[in-house]
Amino acid sequence: MSKYVYGIDLGTTYSCIAYQDEDGRPTVIKNMDTNADTTPSVVQWGEDGTVIVGQEAKDTGVLEPDRTIAFVKQLMGKSPVAITIDGKDISPTEVSSYILRELAKQAGAQMDDEVKDVVITCPAYFGEAERTATKQAGEIAGLNVLSIIEEPTAAAICYGVTRADEDKNVLIYDLGGGTFDITVMKITNGEIRVVTTEGDHDLGGKQWDNALSSILVDKFTAESGYDGDPFTAENNEEFLQDLAIKAERAKQALSNKASAKTMLEFEGERARVEVTREEFDAATKDLLDSTVTLTKKALEDAKKEGVNVDEILLVGGSTKMPQVQEMIKDTFNIEPKNFEPDEAVAKGAAIYAIIQATKQSEVKETEVKEQDESGNEVARDTTTGETRILPTIGGGSAMPTNITAATKVISVSTKSFGIKAFGGDGQEHIFNLIKKNDELPAHAEQSFGTHEDNQTTAMIELFESPEKADSYDVDSDLKLGDAELTLPANTPANSEIQISLDLQEDGTISLHAKKVDTGEVVDAVFKSENVMSKEEIEEAKARVSTGLQMQM
């Protein structure tokens, strides 16, 4: 039996794992190899197939670009392949599972525990496909994923139960290494409610690093007299690796000093270069302005819901940059709070893991307790036959004194979901049934009519978009899936078809369509094409459990 449950911040650039101790204190577990609170989200395959995760992979990534992958989080649910190793395609989900497995191994060794029951975080903008892929990564890593929770919500849980002493409306500005999230939420006694979210999955600290790298290279060529472009020159791998490390260090130094110096060397030319905070801020102003635009949009959406923000909470390692803190204060006239930027998400996930484990360990009236072939205690639904692993709560983790299993965490949909149909103008449009910021779980119903006489089928196409509009023009790139409803012979045009959508907290969306006068129905649960099948998951489990790449 496991002693603790765990929260995992599966980050774009760095990941972190935390647990709740016996006194209810959320605590981050350090990486044993580096003594750091976080582990780089970088995976590398050695020539013998051995998988390396973390700092070693990051430090040599540019030298082994074809065998190393970083920023895999940006591919989750969007691409079937993240990297090809020795002729074998590896999915983003499997790559992420290696990161999760490393975190679990590190934590288990230090806690003398089997890391099993976890909550994993994801960006607020993640849709159904990305959330499913994240959950599957945990499954491949051998974990029992209790829940997938948004990173800003996890941070708010940590903040809400450890610092907040009164009801507040909080905007969480989450600028990580590869992603940016804005979430407005209400924190009240016994409830944390998300109001609205915004985000950009391509905006993060890496872009600031790239800008600083360009400054350093420009100064290097000017100081050394090097005639060429080190970014495009041949045999520049070692230089680029060195540059990436020094740019990140210079960025960190500029958070505390007015200038930073470093030595660069390439093709026999050397130069000691210096960059000032003013130069860095000027070069990255457009990036910062992009976060301002999204923040203002979130604030406007919150006001439409009658919510005015009392506090701004900074989360994510990139919020340590002074330019971020100064911008928040100058633009929004609120002194931001920099609250454990590297740890809050994992700690909040650990707190939420206790809540979920407590709830999910209860066997429902329609379930019976059994043991599966792997030795896990499971609850089997006697009506559907479906099983779920029961969390094993030992004597370790304890609930914080000011939170209980009854504490509600209410999230909202980060996307809108709609059906394609003909509008009054005779043209096809997408009509949203569930809209962005609708409270989860969400349910919506709407009636549509058949388009022509004697239709034999009605193709019901589901679309997912980031906008809250009632309707919009058809965009095939936003299609999530379709379902076909068989119609009886001689069905006249405009025959009523009632469509209902249900969106669960884990991002799963199901559709029910019914022809009202005859009772014909069709049901569908939508999965992205980039979500792994059960067979693919089992194959990946076999590879990940050995830590070796399967030979072709």
User: How sure is the predictor about 1, in pLDDT bands with cuts at 50, 70 and 90?
Assistant: low
Full-model pTM:
0.83
Three-state SS at 289: helix
Nearest to 321 by CA among 255, 249, 258: 255
Three-state SS at 469: coil
| Nearest-angstrom CA–CA distance, 302 and 299 | 5
User: How sure is the predictor about 375, in pLDDT bands with cuts at 50, 70 and 90?
Assistant: confident
Identify whether the C-beta of residue 186 lies closer than 8 Å to the C-beta of residue 193. yes
Enumerate long-range contacts of 530-539, CB under 8 Å, 24 or more apart: 530/77, 530/78, 530/79, 530/80, 530/91, 530/129, 530/133, 531/77, 531/93, 531/129, 531/132, 531/133, 531/136, 532/91, 532/93, 532/133, 532/136, 536/91, 537/136, 537/139, 537/140
- Supply the pLDDT for residue 549: 42
- Supply the pLDDT for residue 494: 87
Percent of the chain at pLDDT > 90 equals: 46
Fold annotation for 416-519: Substrate Binding Domain Of DNAk; Chain A, domain 1 (2.60.34)
Give 145-163 pLDDT, tens digit per residue: 999 998 888 988 887 655 5
Identify whether the C-beta of residue 121 lies closer than 8 Å to the C-beta of residue 7. yes
Give 39-82 pLDDT, tens digit per residue: 999 999 998 889 999 999 998 888 888 999 999 998 898 888 99
| 407, pLDDT greater than 70 | no
Per-domain residue ranges for the chain?
Answer: 6-162+342-355+534-546, 205-283, 416-519
* Secondary structure, 3-state, 25-92: CEEECCCCCCCCCCEECCEEECCCCEEEECHHHHHCCCCCHHHEECCHHHHCCCCCCCEEECCEEECH
- Supply the pLDDT for residue 389: 83
**How is 362-402 classified by DSSP, letter by letter?**
SPPTTEEEEE-TTS-EEEEETTT--EEEPP---SS----TT
**6-162+342-355+534-546: CATH, from 3.10.20.90, 3.40.50.2000, 2.40.30.10, 3.30.420.40:** 3.30.420.40
- Supply the pLDDT for residue 53: 95
Identify whether the C-beta of residue 442 lies closer than 8 Å to the C-beta of residue 502. yes
Percent of the chain at pLDDT > 70 equals: 93
Identify whether the C-beta of residue 295 lies closer than 8 Å to the C-beta of residue 317. no
Give 459-502 pLDDT, tens digit per residue: 888 998 888 889 999 998 888 888 888 888 888 888 888 899 98
Candidate ranges 96-100, 184-188, 202-206, 377-381; pick with highest mean pLDDT: 96-100
| Mean pLDDT of the region 313-339 | 91
Establish how many alpha carbons lie within 13 A of residue 241's alpha carbon, considering only the half-sphere containing its beta carbon: 16
Which of residues 172 and 362 earns the better pLDDT score? 172
| 405, pLDDT greater than 90 | no
| Nearest-angstrom CA–CA distance, 238 and 246 | 12
| Mean pLDDT of the region 375-390 | 81
| 550, pLDDT greater than 50 | no
pLDDT, the chain, mean: 87
| 538, pLDDT greater than 80 | yes
| Nearest-angstrom CA–CA distance, 236 and 449 | 62
Give 335-357 pLDDT, tens digit per residue: 998 878 889 999 999 988 988 88
Paired with 40 in beta bridges are: 14
| Nearest-angstrom CA–CA distance, 258 and 222 | 21
Number of separate helices (H) and strands (E) present in the chain: 11, 31
Give 225-276 pLDDT, tens digit per residue: 888 899 999 888 889 989 988 999 999 999 999 999 999 999 989 999 999 9
Give 15-28 pLDDT, tens digit per residue: 999 998 877 788 99
Query: What is the DSSP secondary structure assignment for residue 318, as one 8-state letter?
Result: G
CATH superfamily of 205-283: ATPase, substrate binding domain, subdomain 4 (3.90.640.10)
- Supply the pLDDT for residue 402: 53
Which of residues 121 and 407 earns the better pLDDT score? 121
| 435, pLDDT greater than 50 | yes
